Amino acid sequence: QVQLVQSGAEVKKPGASVKVSCKASGYTVTNYGISWVRQAPGQGLEWMGWISGYNGDTNYAQKFQGRVTLTTDTSTSTAYMELRSLRSDDTAVYYCARFSGRLQPFDYWGQGTLVTVSS
């Protein structure tokens, strides 16, 4: 069965970086992309960017351009999201989600990773 398993919770200081992983299983990762979505406490869903599992192409929301990097390691079926220059308002649950291509929905989601930014 399809599973996306994310790394555990992180606590970071302002200005630091965080790297969250998302390990996929149960499907051929090169046939799907991975999107990253975050949710601040009590807030809605915010799309951050996606990476193609086929060729590693990426696309980022303008808000995160220059501060986020998405990568993928097809040998381990793992996607990564690195966010730099963390601020307190980056405190959120970060989700990875699978999609099969352009125009397609996010059909499977990881369990979420809480990133807390605090001095």
Partner 1 sequence: DIQMTQSPSSLSASVGDRVTITCRASQSIRFYLNWYQQNPGKAPKLLIYAASSLQSGVPSRFSGSGSGTDFTLTISSLQPEDFSTYYCQQSYSTLFTFGPGTKVDIK
Q: Which residues bind partner 1 (CB under 8 A)?
A: 35, 37, 44-47, 50, 59, 61-62, 95, 97, 99, 102-107, 109-112
Q: Residue 34: how many CA atoms within 13 Å on its side-chain side?
A: 34
Which is nearer to partner 1, 6 or 77 (by Cβ)? 6
Nearer to partner 1 among residue 55 and residue 75 (C-beta)? 55
Integer Cα distance of 72 and 77 in angstroms: 7
Q: How far is the CB of 97 from partner 1 (least distance, A)?
A: 8
Q: Residue 73 Cβ, how far from partner 1 at the closest point, in Å?
A: 22
Q: Which of 33, 57, 53, 39 is nearest to 111 (CA)?
A: 39
Per DSSP, the chain holds a count of helices (H) and strands (E) of 0, 11
12 touches 35 (CB < 8 A): no
Backbone φ, ψ for residue 97 (5° rounding): -150, 145
Q: How far is the CB of 83 from partner 1 (least distance, A)?
A: 18
- Closest separation between CB of residue 58 and partner 1, Å? 10
Task: For partner 1, give the closer residue by CB, 15 or 101.
Answer: 101
